Chains A and B, each alone.
Chain A
Amino acid sequence: MTAVNDVTFEVSKGETFAFLGPNGAGKTTTIKMLTTVLRPTSGTLELDGLNPVTDSTEVRKRFGVVFQDPSLDSELTAWENIDIHGVLYHVPRRVRHERGETLLKLFELWDRRNDLVKTFSGGMRRRLEIARGLLHTPKVLFLDEPTQGLDPQSRNQMWTIVKNLNASEGVTVFLTTHYMDEADRVANRIAIIDHGKIVATGSSAELKQQTGTDSLEAAFLKLTGTTIRDETFSAEDRMRQVSRVWRR
């Protein structure tokens, strides 16, 4: 099965780039390829001038990623999660501690650093994942539906912090979301993908103008249609369902 086919786009340094599309459009597949966990069958990828397929180790040092499904160890404390990340990314101990402290304070998790992650709320886990992803000072931060299932307060706070870091550290942010208002607010540029192909790119204003609509949501629906996308139910989805029951 082909998830994405002939997708071409470029993201500039320091940009906040939103990658939007209906379910099953190929957003996650694209992120997986850029973050070296999936190999493309054809085409070329480049991240900071390097090829994720051939220079995977170098590329991995340059990005931080928050996947759609959680990747924290919930049986460890917040600090242990941060610390292990630091070791995996060869961040020197002193830097690890300083930056870990700064980031946890920024994401308002410092007071809970010694608590097990399994006692954290969904929003706190997400914040911790983002903080962890930034620990090694990456050039690019990938966020795959980071605000899914969060309340407006958590979403607002998360994007405020991310935008601030984007401005202060110049980290490029590559995000996907189903909340059009978020993309409208935080992204400098937006690409809309559907059926594995890019159907439009530009700023929010440009997309509205192109489609003759007055909101990003309307532009999105005009570009991608109003039909419901029913993805095939994969083994992954089945496990996702079970995980909701066995919420750890």
Chain B
Amino acid sequence: MNVVYILWLREVKKYLRSKTQIVASLGTPLMYLAVLGFGLGPVFRRAGEGSYLQFMAPGVIGMTVLFTAMFSGIAMLWDRQFGFLKETLVAPVPRVQIMIGRTLGGATVAVLQGFIIFAVTLVAGFRPTSVMSVPLAFLLIALIAIVFSALATAIGSSLKEMAGFQMVMNFLVMPLWFLSGALYPLQGLPAALAVLTRVDPLTYGIDGVRGTMIGASHFGIPLDVGVLLAVGVLFVTAGAWRFSKIEV
């Protein structure tokens, strides 16, 4: 338990110390929020869908959580050769404890980043339906963070080269984000896109956050939570398995 805690603490401490990283990572979500949020706002309203900012704020929070969680796992690749990971891999503790500590640490950092963006959306004019909905939404955000942190660990444990990082960004992270329905409603999509969005676990995450924060859920919160839990178990297992196989 101590081992899980100290590795979790390490991730959080490092995050809180890296002011530059915190500021830099806010860039992309802020851009989406400002450019798309305000740029597409009038069109969305004319289409009778209400406020686009209300609609996309949960999506941008989800995006932040996805990106932060995925980055933490990919940093592992570097860490394995030139960093602390090797120190933990030869320690006399079960690898699964190390994996859990790191994954929870990465997930916590992602939730913290998500919280900062949530605060920013409030400033921009986003209003959740009630104060009570916020803690509930953050439970879902925590689930999203764990799901993708674990996926990142599984990927980070399997990659051998830095070049693989570009592959993951372009062929996994970006599609996960664009297919998640963060930017557009899930109703009335072309069949192929509808199928793809339903395969993307982030879709359920963002739908759940939207459900709790603005009371508009496509699948219903119980299904969202169920899918996230199931995928979470799957990814954590996969992550633990891949992590146990690392040779340095």
Interface residues of A (CB under 8 A from B): 32, 35-39, 57-58, 60-61, 65, 67, 69-76, 80-81, 83-85, 87-90, 132, 235-236, 238-240, 242-243, 248
Q: Contact flags (1/0) for B153-169 with A, using CB distance below 8 Å? A: 00000001110000000
**Nearest Cβ distance between residue A158 and chain B, in whole angstroms?**
19
With the chains together, A123 CA to B225 CA distance in Å?
A: 51
Neighbour of B83 across the interface among A36, A71, A236, A238, CB < 8 A = A71
A residues near B91, Cβ cutoff 8 Å: 60, 85, 88-89
Determine the chain A residues whose CB is within 8 A of the CB of B162 once the complex forms.
238-239, 242
When distances are taken between beta carbons in the complex, the residues of chain A under 8 Å from B86 are 37, 67, 69, 71
- A83, chain B: closest CB distance, angstroms: 8
Task: Name 6 interchain pairs, CB-CB below 8 A, sorted by A.
Answer: A35-B90, A61-B92, A69-B82, A71-B83, A71-B87, A89-B91
Looking at the assembled complex, report how far the CB atom of A5 sits from the nearest CB atom of chain B, in whole angstroms: 19
Neighbouring A residues of B88 by C-beta, 8 Å: 88
B87 touches A85 (CB 8 A): yes
* Contact count band on B: 20 to 34
For the complex, is B18 an interface residue (Cβ under 8 Å from A)?
A: yes
By beta carbon, the residue of chain A nearest B248 is A37
A84:B83 contact, CB within 8 angstroms: no
| Distance in angstroms between the alpha carbons of A81 and B86 in the assembled complex | 13
- Nearest chain B CB to A150's CB is how many angstroms away? 18
B85 contact set on A, CB distance < 8 A: 71
A80 to B6, CA, bound (A): 10
Q: Could you tell me the distance between the alpha carbons of A85 and B10 in the complex, rounded to whole angstroms?
A: 12
Q: CB distance B10 to A243 under 8 Å?
A: no
Contact present for A37 and B14 (CB under 8 Å): no
Q: Does B184 contact A (CB under 8 A)?
A: no
Minimum distance in angstroms from A65 CB to a CB of chain B: 6
User: Contact check: which of A61, A70, A239 meets B161 at CB < 8 Å?
Assistant: A239
Q: Flag if A73 contacts B247 (CB, 8 Å).
A: no
Which residues of chain B are near A73, meaning CB under 8 Å?
A: 10, 14, 83-84, 87
Any A CB within 8 A of the CB of B89: yes
List of A residues within 8 angstroms of B93 by Cβ: 57, 88, 90
Which one of A37, A70, A76, A236 lies within 8 Å of B10 (CB-CB)?
A76
Chain B contacts for A61, CB-based, 8 A: 92
Contact B82 A239, beta carbon cutoff 8 Å: yes
Residues in A neighbouring B7, C-beta threshold 8 A: 84
B81→A236 contact, CB < 8 A? yes
Which A residues lie within 8 Å of B161 (CB)? 235, 238-239
CB distance from B83 to the nearest CB of A (A): 7
Bound form: Cα–Cα A199–B109 in Å: 52
Task: Write the nearest CB–CB distance from B114 to chain A, whole angstroms.
Answer: 22
Which of A58, A75, A235, A240 contacts B18 (CB under 8 A)? Answer: A75
